[in-house]
Structure 1
Amino acid sequence: MSNSKQSEAQVVHAPVFISGDDLETPTLKILRQDGTTYEGAELPEIDQALALKIYDTFLFIRALDERMVAAQRQGRISFYMTEIGEEAADIGSTAALDPEDMIMAQYREQGALAFRGFPLEQFMHQLFSNENDLGKGRQMPIHYGSNELHYMTISSPLATQLPQAAGYAYGLKLEEKQNCVICYFGEGAASEGDFHAAINMAGVYKVPAIYFCRNNGYAISTPSSEQFAGDGIAPRAVAYGLKAIRVDGNDVLAVLKATQEARRLAVEENQPVLIEAMTYRLGAHSTSDDPSGYRSKKEEEKWREKDPVARFKNWLIAQGWWSEEQDAAEMAQKRQNVLDAMKKAETVPSPKVDELITDVYDVPPQHLQDQLDELKAHIRQYPEAYPKTAGRLDDE
């Protein structure tokens, strides 16, 4: 609290300890699983066009995740991460933003990028690290980025985007732009020091930032109960001067409503906000993970009954905006589209080896050029270990 608030605080003359257990964090819920809304619930700003765009993105991500996990198992790509079960969180929140608001993602927000209009072909180019990849094949799969769509390129180290979001938002404030930054992270990332540094800076400088925590219960294999003793992540924000709200992360209408209001606070009042979306990762942490080692099938099935995609579909059907027949046909088409795009992308050549040292310096320094020459010599010496798709030399 500020010095003035400290001076106005209640004074006592015997020890009185405050406890987080005395605080109750409410959870915003609007939509029931059967597609009906809770009595008295306030709907977000949403019309048929927006609702169908959100749901179309849901179906696309389901098809993409399904096909690309299969592709990884077949050895066609090296790695993948799904967002099955968490689609309402990133897609619903992105739907509340202005297209020029900056998105800083962790690594499970491909739905946010899809909602912004990232082409299927570009998803594939990145996953296959070919010469048409915007990142020139320098990142492992699912590390997307798009300058055009205001989606900051994903970085592998956990939580690096959190302080970056505070700094970027401070820049927006100084430039007096009517935009904000949304920064996605998991509850596991909130255990990193970067989390505390970031939201402290956001609170002190009053920047237009929305910190969006996907609390899916596990930091890879570590359950929340072993990560922190407090009541989730939302209460932490209050101590740093942010406003906070907890939502049902499987309820896309609740996520949309909360983010619309959070954006208003961030942009109009320079009031940073933390949203904690309570959800669940139905799939493995990544294709390198086996969740059966740390959670039960019974637990997973309990959460499958809360599927955010099925919940929203039920609501759309109740509005007369969708049907089961449309659903089946559209999903089949999306699966085919993903399969067709995948087959094309895996035939595109890899970037040339020279691309490894471009874009950082105007003229690559000598030590990088020397390393590149050594790499080329090594590839030429052992060509059988480097198939054509693994990298091309400049003279090929």
Structure 2
Amino acid sequence: MDGTAPASPGAGFGPDLAEVFGPSQQHGGPELVQLLTPEGERVEHAEFRFDPGPGVAEDEAIRGLYRDMVLVRRIDTESTALQRHGELGIWAQLLGQEAAQVGAGRALRPQDFVFPTYREHGVAWCRGLDPLKLLGLFRGVDHGDWDPKDVNFGLYTIVIGAQTLHATGYAMGMQRDGVVGTGDPDRDAAVIAHFGDGASSQGDVNESFIFAASYNAPVVFFCQNNQWAISEPIERQTRIPLYQRALGFGFPGVRVDGNDVLATYAVTQAALQRAREGQGPTFVEAYTYRMGAHTTTDDPTRYRLSDDVESWKLRDPIARVEAYLKRNGLAEQSFFDAVATEADELGVRLREGCKALPDPQPLDVFDRVYAEMTPELEAQKAEYAAYLSSFEGAH
């Protein structure tokens, strides 16, 4: 609350940074936090555990996470198909990253605020944002037709890494509004900033680390390391695991299996709580893989091996939860059939809803640029209106 930094980089994140993360976490060994293996087997971790919260049965929560991931994947595949059919201008795929996004999204409390990139479709889903709102943006009929304060989910950020600065500033504002470290779970809030491994090379991201550490801001930096910054592999961007960079700025970092929704949930939950309590920022590296293309304008076969993709398919985030539920008798076939049916219905709604989105009027581009129309903008609007009217009656 007072803007001072913690006594040590690990303060408040368990008993001690070296003890919590261990030598492997600090020196690049087998450092992944994992609670569910690719084969669907539960494993224990010394520091993190899956805790869905009071009043929620664990099995029910895991079934809910499975449903989330299936529906989020359907949003992705339907949107990709819509782009291929000319209904969207472009689409940023998230195939393979469902666990990272759903785990982080479900770890949030209502009062927390999210600053996304342009790929956080799963987080948007978890915040209750209608996916048709996302399609309007990628169809080019609006600039993001949702009010961030309605869902505590910011507008998509196209400028790479810029949202980390926005998130840090917003988190500093939370400190000054007195909603950090009060001890009231319904009041204390935190911010999470999503970005990719490519964005971690941007100056804005590193500047946000400096400000967040200096002011002990209640922000979680959530990096989805999907191995590729478009066509640039991660090994050409960094000599050390990304999460280790946090120590150089004075706050803890942790690497989590980004294809494990239980581990992602647990790690993000702990990092957000640490921020809400006033113990400052945390860097979470969700180690995952982009099984699809960077966007629908990208051809990943030109720069990566198909063997790598096939290898990562064996770590599919949805398949491992399905295997866990079936192996332990925690879900009947009727449950999986119901989720599949719901996904089909969602697909139909997205296809029909996307095509029904109204086209904007040309002069709409001048509206809502500022809270009040400026004289310069008014003049531009009038000039363009006159230009459009010159075509009236033309053949």
Band of TM-score, shorter chain: 0.7 to 0.9
Greater alpha carbon shift after TM alignment, 321-330 vs 294-303: 321-330
Alignment-derived partner of residue 244 in structure 1: 253
2:62 to 51, 54, 62: 51
Kept in 2, the 8 Å contact 1:210–1:263? The answer is yes
State the Cα deviation string for residues 161-192 of structure 1 (Å, max 9, x = none).
11111111111112221100010111110100
Query: How big is the shift at 1:128?
Result: 3.7
Cα distance change on mapping 1:161 and 1:120 into 2, 3 Å: closer
Query: How big is the shift at 1:304?
Result: 0.6
Question: 3-state SS of the aligned residue for 1:214?
Answer: strand
What one-letter code is carried by the residue in structure 2 that aligns with 1:155?
T
Alignment-derived partner of residue 318 in structure 2: 309
The alignment's C-alpha RMSD in Å is: 2.7
Distance 1:84 1:145 in 2: 26
Cα distance change on mapping 1:22 and 1:83 into 2, 3 Å: closer
Alignment-derived partner of residue 78 in structure 1: 89
Alignment-derived partner of residue 208 in structure 1: 218
Distance 2:26 2:120 in 1: 34
The percentage of counterpart residues that share the same residue type is: 29
Query: How big is the shift at 1:159?
Result: 0.4
What one-letter code is carried by the residue in structure 2 that aligns with 1:147?
K
Alignment-derived partner of residue 225 in structure 1: 235
Question: 3-state SS of the aligned residue for 1:28?
Answer: coil
**Structure showing greater Rg:** 1
Kept in 1, the 8 Å contact 2:99–2:318? The answer is yes
2:38 to 14, 18, 33: 33
Structure 1 alignment gaps of length 5 or more: 6-19, 131-136, 386-396
Alignment-derived partner of residue 13 in structure 1: none
Cα distance change on mapping 1:172 and 1:336 into 2, 3 Å: same
1:24 to 12, 25, 28: 28
Query: How big is the shift at 1:144?
Result: 6.7
Alignment-derived partner of residue 152 in structure 2: 150
What one-letter code is carried by the residue in structure 1 that aligns with 2:356?
T
Distance 1:45 1:147 in 2: 27
Kept in 2, the 8 Å contact 1:213–1:277? The answer is yes
Structural mapping, 1:278-357, within 5 Å: 278-357=287-366
Structural mapping, 1:166-185, within 5 Å: 166-177=168-179, 178-185=188-195
What one-letter code is carried by the residue in structure 2 that aligns with 1:36?
E
Distance 2:116 2:70 in 1: 20
Query: How big is the shift at 1:207?
Result: 1.1
Alignment-derived partner of residue 162 in structure 1: 164
Distance 2:148 2:376 in 1: 30
* Structure 1 stretches of 4+ moved >6 Å: none
Question: 3-state SS of the aligned residue for 2:220?
Answer: strand
Kept in 2, the 8 Å contact 1:94–1:115? The answer is yes
Query: How big is the shift at 1:204?
Result: 0.9
Cα distance change on mapping 1:32 and 1:363 into 2, 3 Å: closer
State the Cα deviation string for residues 114-161 of structure 1 (Å, max 9, x = none).
01222244344444454xxxxxx135xxx9763211001112110001
Query: How big is the shift at 1:380?
Result: 4.5
Greater alpha carbon shift after TM alignment, 276-285 vs 329-338: 329-338
What one-letter code is carried by the residue in structure 1 that aligns with 2:302?
G
TM score, norm. by length of structure 1? 0.83
Query: How big is the shift at 1:238?
Result: 0.8
What one-letter code is carried by the residue in structure 1 that aligns with 2:220?
I
1:104 to 115, 128, 152: 115
What number of residue pairs does the alignment pair up?
359
Query: How big is the shift at 1:337?
Result: 2.5
Kept in 2, the 8 Å contact 1:54–1:115? The answer is no
Query: How big is the shift at 1:384?
Result: 12
Kept in 1, the 8 Å contact 2:220–2:275? The answer is yes
Structural mapping, 1:65-144, within 5 Å: 65-130=76-141, 137-138=142-143
